[in-house]
A and B are shown apart, each in its own frame.
Chain A
């Protein structure tokens, strides 16, 4: 009976999910056509529908960035270009457009170097992505458990079994620790983009607090802390200040 119900649910919802996926892809194509025609608002509406349906792709984010750029929304353009780059770091179109967008950004701040451990972690994450590290680590973990069971249950043991078991344990442990640690503490803190034309960083989370510095649309900042309506951000040269959360767009 239970098996029957499970199969029935699967057969009922699978085509529905498939139909929804197809609708999202068609909406993306409609948005692309609107973008080609210069109907940027229509294009954005279509792309946002796809995004709200829970889909993402480098092409979707790139086209959203292009539509925003054509509408002179520099901050949103930078935001979606960064999202596209997160999904496809090597695409020349994305990298080129990011360069163009950054050239229009008004602020010229020096950039603080990352701490060496953060750089090392970023390099490691780039070299072995978190999910890949976790999956390989789990496979090693399963290998270790399998060989352990073989020894425990079936008395299969020997020098090579022991070496294999220890190797699988060590490699699996390193990869899983790396994956979970990078998930807990990402190498790059949460980043956001300034969406308003100008944004004043303040010493406290209050509109009456002393001004620290003024930044402009399109600047990428790191979010260090959040309160319900305010975020503590750090600009590239290390200056920190509170800004209204509504003036930022997360990447």
Chain B
């Protein structure tokens, strides 16, 4: 590199746009034919144990626009101090010839005495890969380090006179100088309870930062996340930590809501920045020009935050739909009297602190006479305070389809109060609604092919003619059912008995006469009594005698006429009749004979005695004669 050829030299960042602009403006016409050369170098091949070595890959013939950032080389006996390389760029015009260089540098610190080694690495320029050679570095005790004889630094001539010399690199911040702290409002939370995490950057006084940006997308798996507002131009606060004074600013504030139970982890917040350490008392001259000193790239990450999420307790009310926090509810109709077909708006607003974004609408039960449309939902979140709060409004449109006086039942909303550790419920008042007018026959456009409304019940029955008694018991429990079934069977049984009786009467004359004896006797005795009451004493005794003799004849199955009294008595004795009853029969027959021939000799009492004797004698004879 020749003196006087320097146009510009800079670190990546400040002035880079200008350099790029100039580079493109001046070099674009010749870039196509520029030759690319890549080589690696270190600023010293022998270093003390307390020193660091800078490793640089230089790409000659490129402005860096087609160079892909290489990976840092592997090293043995050395440790890499930063993963993001410093970049350097130079453009020179010598005798009308332009040359360009672009380089990446890393710093390594030895881990032990001996021979250290920086391995080969690869860099891609355009569509071609270039490989560097490994470099060995001797590490000696600090007090034995040689006078620093650095290798050629391709950018040395480009350094600012105010830059610190290469043998005394700019100090780099460590974790006590610069760090991010994540502070959650609580480490244990109920499921869906709000936890606010604040990410605060701590940096020692005098450290300057620039070009700060988030490196990765911050994630919190298992949480619903809502960003809270932070100052866009924060004024650092001074805080003392472990006896050291720090400036602090809030980088980020987020409300997170655990969506499930268990230990849930919030990823670290990572930023990349460029930091400049002050030279302070070590070099007052340089401190004077601190703004001109070098910024070092730094990567910062907050620690992970673990939140223990507890499941909500049992006993949730029916109207609970997962809300956790502190809420209030208002229900406001825009009117309470309307006509059929007119719409009314019912606004249900839930206000409070918690996860309003995922909150479901409270259950709305309205009389079926109303059409209800899905609510229009609007959410208003207040992110400016230390907790996420706001309101969520559900606007329902109700359209009555029929007239009448209705009542919109109370709307109930429940949530879990994490501070009190219990469920709370708020209930609105019932809302009376009066609907007037009559339906304007919308059936013509909302009717099915058979005239029924598409989405409603059919019209009512204005008359009912098919009345019947309710509560009809099952058939088998009704008495008349069994009567209808069993009565014919009884009739059949009776008929069967009658048939057998009739058949015996025909087939067994003796039995038939016996069956006839008694009824005939009763018939004669009845006639006798009628004759007696008619004053016919003779006829009376004749009928009494006929009754008795007829009975005996039937029972003995003989023709009683023509039998003498002795023959009759003998037949009775033969059939087992006792002497006593035969004597009673003889006495009665004698009495009847006397009554027929000398009726006047009988008093009325004597006449009735004959009737009584006959009435008593016939059953006695029937008993003794048997079958």
Residues of A within 8 A of B (CB): 21, 24-25, 28, 32, 35-40, 51, 54-60, 62-63, 65-66, 69-72, 74, 77, 87-88, 92-94, 96-97, 100-101, 130-131, 134, 138, 141-142, 145, 148-149, 152-153, 176, 179-180, 183-184, 186, 197-198
Q: Which of B455, B466, B476, B495 contacts A100 (CB 8 A)?
A: B455
Bound state CA distance, A92 and B451, in angstroms?
10
Contact B491 A145 (CB under 8 A): yes
Shortest beta-carbon distance from A209 to chain B in Å:
16
Tell me which residues across on chain B come within 8 A of A65, comparing CB atoms: 457
Shortest beta-carbon distance from A13 to chain B in Å:
16
Q: Which of B365, B462, B464, B474 has the most CB of A within 10 A?
A: B464
- Would you list which residues of chain B between 455 and 471 have a CB under 8 Å from chain A? 455-471
Bound state CA distance, A145 and B489, in angstroms?
8
Shortest beta-carbon distance from A211 to chain B in Å:
12
- Would you list which residues of chain B between 437 and 479 have a CB under 8 Å from chain A? 448, 450, 452, 455-471, 474-477
Contact A72 B452 (CB under 8 A): no
Chain B: residues with Cβ within 8 Å of the partner, total of 47
Bound state CA distance, A183 and B474, in angstroms?
6
Contact B475 A134 (CB under 8 A): yes
Bound state CA distance, A77 and B460, in angstroms?
13
Bound state CA distance, A198 and B363, in angstroms?
13
Q: Which of B457, B475, B477 contacts A69 (CB 8 A)?
A: B457
Tell me which residues across on chain B come within 8 A of A54, comparing CB atoms: 469-471
Q: Which of B403, B461, B470, B496 contacts A38 (CB 8 A)?
A: B403
Bound state CA distance, A92 and B461, in angstroms?
12
Tell me which residues across on chain A come within 8 A of B485, comparing CB atoms: 138, 141, 176
Bound state CA distance, A174 and B377, in angstroms?
67
Tell me which residues across on chain A come within 8 A of B369, comparing CB atoms: 38, 70
Tell me which residues across on chain A come within 8 A of B420, comparing CB atoms: none
Bound state CA distance, A92 and B450, in angstroms?
8
**What are the 6 A-B residue pairs with the smallest beta carbon separation, nearest first?**
A38-B404, A59-B464, A59-B461, A93-B458, A56-B470, A183-B475
Contact A153 B498 (CB under 8 A): yes
Contact A152 B496 (CB under 8 A): yes
Bound state CA distance, A36 and B463, in angstroms?
13
Q: Which of A32, A38, A93, A101 has the most CB of B within 10 A?
A: A38
Q: Is B182 part of the contact surface with A, judged by Cβ < 8 Å?
A: no
Residues of B within 8 A of A (CB): 318, 365-369, 402-406, 435, 448, 450, 452, 455-471, 474-477, 481, 484-485, 488-489, 491-492, 495-496, 498-499
Q: Which of A56, A60, A145 contacts B488 (CB 8 A)?
A: A145
Tell me which residues across on chain A come within 8 A of B368, comparing CB atoms: 69-72, 74, 77
Contact A38 B405 (CB under 8 A): yes
Asked whether A183 and B457 contact (CB < 8 A) given A40-B404, A54-B470, A152-B495, the answer is no
Shortest beta-carbon distance from A151 to chain B in Å:
10
Tell me which residues across on chain B come within 8 A of A77, comparing CB atoms: 368
Bound state CA distance, A209 and B525, in angstroms?
86
Shortest beta-carbon distance from A149 to chain B in Å:
5
Closest A residue to B484 by beta carbon equals A138
Asked whether A93 and B461 contact (CB < 8 A) given A55-B468, A149-B492, A152-B499, the answer is yes
Tell me which residues across on chain A come within 8 A of B460, comparing CB atoms: 32, 35-36, 62-63, 66
Asked whether A96 and B448 contact (CB < 8 A) given A56-B470, A145-B491, A179-B475, the answer is yes
Bound state CA distance, A198 and B455, in angstroms?
24
Tell me which residues across on chain A come within 8 A of B464, comparing CB atoms: 28, 57-60, 63
Contact A58 B466 (CB under 8 A): yes
Shortest beta-carbon distance from A59 to chain B in Å:
3
**Interface residue SS majority, chain B:** loop
Bound state CA distance, A145 and B474, in angstroms?
26
11 intermolecular pairs with C-beta atoms under 8 Å apart = A25-B467, A28-B464, A54-B470, A58-B461, A92-B458, A93-B452, A100-B455, A134-B481, A148-B495, A149-B495, A186-B474
Shortest beta-carbon distance from A10 to chain B in Å:
18
Given A88-B466, A96-B450, A152-B495, 15 additional A-B pairs, CB 8 A: A35-B460, A55-B467, A57-B467, A59-B461, A59-B463, A63-B464, A69-B368, A70-B369, A70-B404, A100-B455, A101-B457, A134-B475, A153-B498, A183-B477, A197-B318
Closest B residue to A198 by beta carbon equals B318
Tell me which residues across on chain A come within 8 A of B455, comparing CB atoms: 100
Q: Which of B448, B450, B481 has the most CB of A within 10 A?
A: B481
Bound state CA distance, A100 and B406, in angstroms?
21
Shortest beta-carbon distance from A224 to chain B in Å:
18
Bound state CA distance, A40 and B498, in angstroms?
67
Shortest beta-carbon distance from B153 to chain A in Å:
77
Bound state CA distance, A40 and B403, in angstroms?
11
Contact A153 B499 (CB under 8 A): yes
Closest B residue to A83 by beta carbon equals B470
Asked whether A32 and B499 contact (CB < 8 A) given A51-B470, A55-B469, the answer is no
Q: Which of A63, A72, A87, A184 contacts B476 (CB 8 A)?
A: A184
Bound state CA distance, A142 and B499, in angstroms?
19
Shortest beta-carbon distance from A105 to chain B in Å:
13
Tell me which residues across on chain B come within 8 A of A179, comparing CB atoms: 475
Q: Which of B318, B367, B458, B475 contacts A72 (CB 8 A)?
A: B367
Tell me which residues across on chain B come within 8 A of A148, comparing CB atoms: 492, 495
Contact A149 B491 (CB under 8 A): yes
Bound state CA distance, A219 and B268, in angstroms?
52
Shortest beta-carbon distance from A21 to chain B in Å:
8
Tell me which residues across on chain B come within 8 A of A25, comparing CB atoms: 467
Tell me which residues across on chain A come within 8 A of B456, comparing CB atoms: 100
Shortest beta-carbon distance from A51 to chain B in Å:
7
Tell me which residues across on chain A come within 8 A of B461, comparing CB atoms: 32, 58-60, 62-63, 93
Bound state CA distance, A171 and B53, in angstroms?
115
Contact A93 B459 (CB under 8 A): yes
Bound state CA distance, A97 and B453, in angstroms?
9
Tell me which residues across on chain A come within 8 A of B404, comparing CB atoms: 37-40, 70
Bound state CA distance, A51 and B470, in angstroms?
8
Shortest beta-carbon distance from A229 to chain B in Å:
21
Asked whether A59 and B466 contact (CB < 8 A) given A69-B368, A72-B365, A100-B455, the answer is yes
Contact A38 B402 (CB under 8 A): yes
Tell me which residues across on chain A come within 8 A of B481, comparing CB atoms: 134, 180
Q: Which of A51, A57, A141 contacts B466 (CB 8 A)?
A: A57
Tell me which residues across on chain B come within 8 A of A40, comparing CB atoms: 404
Bound state CA distance, A123 and B430, in angstroms?
49
Q: Which of B318, B365, B476 contacts A180 (CB 8 A)?
A: B476
Bound state CA distance, A32 and B485, in angstroms?
43
Q: Which of B367, B368, B455, B475 has the most CB of A within 10 A?
A: B368
Bound state CA distance, A99 and B463, in angstroms?
23
Tell me which residues across on chain A come within 8 A of B498, comparing CB atoms: 153
Bound state CA distance, A66 and B461, in angstroms?
10
Contact A97 B458 (CB under 8 A): yes
Bound state CA distance, A106 and B318, in angstroms?
16
Asked whether A55 and B470 contact (CB < 8 A) given A32-B460, A69-B368, A96-B448, the answer is yes
Tell me which residues across on chain A come within 8 A of B495, comparing CB atoms: 148-149, 152-153
Closest B residue to A146 by beta carbon equals B488
Tell me which residues across on chain B come within 8 A of A142, comparing CB atoms: 488
Tell me which residues across on chain A come within 8 A of B489, comparing CB atoms: 145
Shortest beta-carbon distance from B496 to chain A in Å:
7
Shortest beta-carbon distance from B363 to chain A in Å:
9
Tell me which residues across on chain B come within 8 A of A35, comparing CB atoms: 460
Tell me which residues across on chain A come within 8 A of B462, comparing CB atoms: 32
Bound state CA distance, A63 and B469, in angstroms?
18
Tell me which residues across on chain A come within 8 A of B406, comparing CB atoms: 38
Closest B residue to A197 by beta carbon equals B318
Tell me which residues across on chain A come within 8 A of B491, comparing CB atoms: 145, 149
Q: Which of A24, A56, A138 has the most CB of B within 10 A?
A: A56
Shortest beta-carbon distance from A238 to chain B in Å:
26
